Amino acid sequence: MHDMKLLIDTNIILDAMINREPWAEDAQNVILAIAEEKAEGYITASSVTDIYYILFKHIKNRDQVKQALLGLLTVINVFDVNETDCVEAFSVHMSDYEDALLASCGKRHKVDRIVTRNIKDFTGSPIQAVEPHEILKYLCECIDHTESNNKQ
């Protein structure tokens, strides 16, 4: 298993689950890479409620939303969000509190990258933010490099 820890922004999860174009394929491939244990994937507990709410607005069926979320949670792990994260987020030099909270939580849990399609929103983040296509390229390069080393 790859040891890179990725904190996945809500927009990536929703792009994948609702099939939002033009972002769906990269978002789905990020989740697939996590499912294939090429990286560890995390979302925050606070993201789960946002994901539920937006999925329900699209699907309008509680059982389908429940099954979709339970399926996601078999692949993606959930970080708690605590009081320290909430307070710390106010001192992070980012304009959006929700994004600052994500970054603070990621910092506490020592993630390597935040995967988002809104890179500019994470200017000032203590954790580097990358777009899905960037992390996919990185993970593929690492896997190719590891496989070629194992063949020698």
CATH annotation of 5-147: 3.40.50.1010
How far apart CA 64 and CA 124 sit, in angstroms, is: 37
User: 77 pairs with which residues across the strands?
Assistant: 42
How far apart CA 91 and CA 28 sit, in angstroms, is: 33
Residue 129 burial class via C-beta count within 10 angstroms: exposed 0-12, middle 13-18, buried 19 and up? buried
Ordered by start, the domain boundaries in the chain are 5-147
- Locate 91 and state its tokens: 């001192």
Does residue 40 contact residue 6 with C-beta atoms inside 8 Å?
A: yes
CA dihedral 74→49→26→98, nearest 10 degrees, is -130
**C-alpha dist (Å) from residue 141 to 29, 40, 86:** 15, 16, 36
- The pTM of this model reads 0.92
Report pLDDT for 142.
74
pLDDT tens for the chain, 152 residues long, are 458 999 999 999 999 999 999 999 999 999 999 999 999 999 999 999 999 999 999 999 999 999 999 999 999 999 999 999 999 999 999 999 999 999 999 999 999 999 999 999 999 999 999 999 999 999 988 766 555 555 54
- Locate 122 and state its tokens: 């994470």
User: 34 pairs with which residues across the strands?
Assistant: none
Report pLDDT for 148.
54
